[in-house]
Amino acid sequence: MKKFFNYLFVALIVCGLSFGSAWLAVKHFQQPAAVVMTGDSTQYVLPQAYAKFASLPQAGETDFTVAAELSVNAVVHVKTTYTSQRQQYSADPFFEFFFGRPQQGREAPQQRASGSGVIISPDGYIVTNNHVINKADEIEVVLNDKRSFTAQLVGTDPNTDIALLKIEATDLPVIVMGNSDDIRVGEWVLAVGNPFNLTSTVTAGIVSAKARNINILDTDMKIESFIQTDAAVNPGNSGGALVNTRGELIGINTAIASQTGSYTGYSFAVPTSIVQKVVSDIRTYGVVQRAILGVQIQEITAELQKEKNIPTLKGAYIANVIKDGAAEKAGMKTGDVVTAIDNAVISSATDLQELVARHRPGDKITITVLRNNKPLNLTAELTNKHGDTGIVKRSEGIVVLGAEFTEINQATKQKLGLESGLQVTSVKNGKFQKAGIEKGFIVLKVNNRTIRTEDDLQEVVDAALQASDKDKVLFIAGVNQRGRVEYYAINLNE
């Protein structure tokens, strides 16, 4: 019996020491200063940043029901009908003379696809991804209550993969727009959408990273600054909502990182800081107002840091300053390292792109740069793509045509063997509709001028409008969405 009490006494001492160590650890952790954690023979000094979390109340059980309830009814199913372009265009002597020998092909069948969208106003404005509705002949929107509407395309921005739709309805449920700048890595988020045509699907995960560039957009002025999460997103989720636990919209789900085509771990969303700017521009001006700083930038790597003797790995390295651009006029030089814009810290080249993209031509920003290892503040007045500070508007010529356009991407170039072209993304009342030009038609030449951008088309149409009456004609050559060569003559006098 005496031996038993000896063992019991030793056990109590061990338990007491263990409890005491744990109590001391907790006590130290709650102190608003650097914390010393003791474990075995090693001491770990926690960063000072831990102190601010010590006074926070202990988190309760995670509950996503409120966020799901607030968001699921405002996420819609977007269904599209389009004509496949798998077949290449048929040969044509006139076309061959100008553009080279094409390959033989035959008419392709109509296809169907689907994605998601988010209602952002009670009167029927819906934001989705550009790639969800790109090349669509018809767009159908199905609400969570199963009502169905035909949607009109208001405008698109391939540079951010955002599109705006409109349906004729009132008193629709909406998602409150949140501030994507406020989210933190590790924060819980929900993805709401229609994967694999499974309507109103909600998945949960955490924010894995911010300002992620994954090089999926194929445009000259692309802006990629995605929110990366591990919330499960699959085909059909594109255009759906990424919301925080308060049910606020913080992003539009856009892409997944996958080698199989299905979700394998990470998904990416366009943050609302970009979405709001794009949507506002489309509604106000009909076209996105892209602010340009006039620099070529590089990510700062360990190799670049060593080569250029840069004192930091954070920021954006200015590899080149465009002549007569906003940056040059502000006094920026090649070799500068941008560390902040309007006091917002720049950690990467992606941060710089995103912050500039939030502005419009004519906006003035304060840029903090490191030059010769010393900070310097400069003021730049951002310009538009033409090099001035005016608001970019669709030209009267483009308005007369009654169509919207986008430059063809690399995949289309390779598929059709084209070097360039301007594709029709929508056709409304105007010259194109009267001539029978359909959505998906690729404009290659107008009045014998090669058309690569919308600016090219604007210049040709404006020139024709200013010509004498007999010369106010547009001769258009291109490829339709069924893969066949077509020619049109449009009399601008009619």
Residues designated as active site: 131, 161, 238
Distance CA 81, CA 394 (A): 27
Angle value at C-alpha 51, between 50 and 53, nearest 5 degrees: 70
The pair of structure tokens assigned to 259 is: 């080698």
Distance CA 124, CA 166 (A): 5
Distance CA 386, CA 384 (A): 5
Distance CA 76, CA 94 (A): 46
What does 231-273 look like in DSSP terms, one character per residue?
S---TT-TT-EEEETT--EEEEEEEEE-SSSS-SSEEEEEEHH
Distance CA 226, CA 249 (A): 14
Question: Look-up: residue for tokens 């690729």?
Answer: 442
Beta bridge partners of residue 368, listed in sequence order: 340, 377
Would you call 330 helix, strand, or coil by DSSP?
helix
Binning the chain into helix, strand and coil, the percentages to the nearest 5 are 25, 35, 40
Read off φ and ψ for residue 379, nearest 5 degrees: -115, 125
Candidates 123, 210, 131; CA nearest to 172 is 123
Residues 147, 201: contact at Cβ < 8 Å? no
What does 12-49 look like in DSSP terms, one character per residue?
HHHHHHHHHHHHHHHHHHTSSS--EEEETTEEEE--GG
Residues ≥6 apart with Cβ < 8 Å to 489: 473, 474, 475, 476
Distance CA 129, CA 27 (A): 50
Instruction: Classify strands 422-427 and 75-83 as parallel, antiparallel or unpaired.
Output: unpaired
Distance CA 437, CA 203 (A): 42
Residues 475, 447: contact at Cβ < 8 Å? yes
